[in-house]
Structure 1
Amino acid sequence: MRVTADRTVCVGAGLCALTAPAVFDQDDDGIVTVLRSAADGGDGAAAREAGLLCPSGAVRVTDAAG
């Protein structure tokens, strides 16, 4: 599973960090940061949900590793 976040389109809503705190956080400006991919010990189901909830489409979760 590959988890990415486009920080240039993030609006800082924080749904990703609330939904999957093991995978996402926010920096001091409220912009998304990926802590770890779901494959690296994060919660895959929560990461997928965060991707669906993201209002700006900044969070992407795919099954492909590369």
Structure 2
Amino acid sequence: MWQDISTAPLEQYLAVATIDKEVHANIFPCILTNDGWLNAETMKQLEIAPTHWRKWPAMTYFCCCG
């Protein structure tokens, strides 16, 4: 469920979106820092102003060889 951006926690992997009439969600995790929003993969500042957030889905990795 999308939550208002004003309630986003610091220093956690989050999915962010800009929601107007439609949801425009980023396809990469983001992190909110004291300096603003960063792309969690590149650590570069976001060029958008997100309006909503939700937890980034947890990923589970399986190994076939050990």
TM-score of the superposed pair, with normalisation by structure 2: 0.27
TM-score of the superposed pair, with normalisation by structure 1: 0.27
Q: Which has the higher contact order (CA 8 A, sep 6+)?
A: 1
Higher-Rg structure is: 2
Larger proportion of strand: 2
Larger proportion of helix: 1
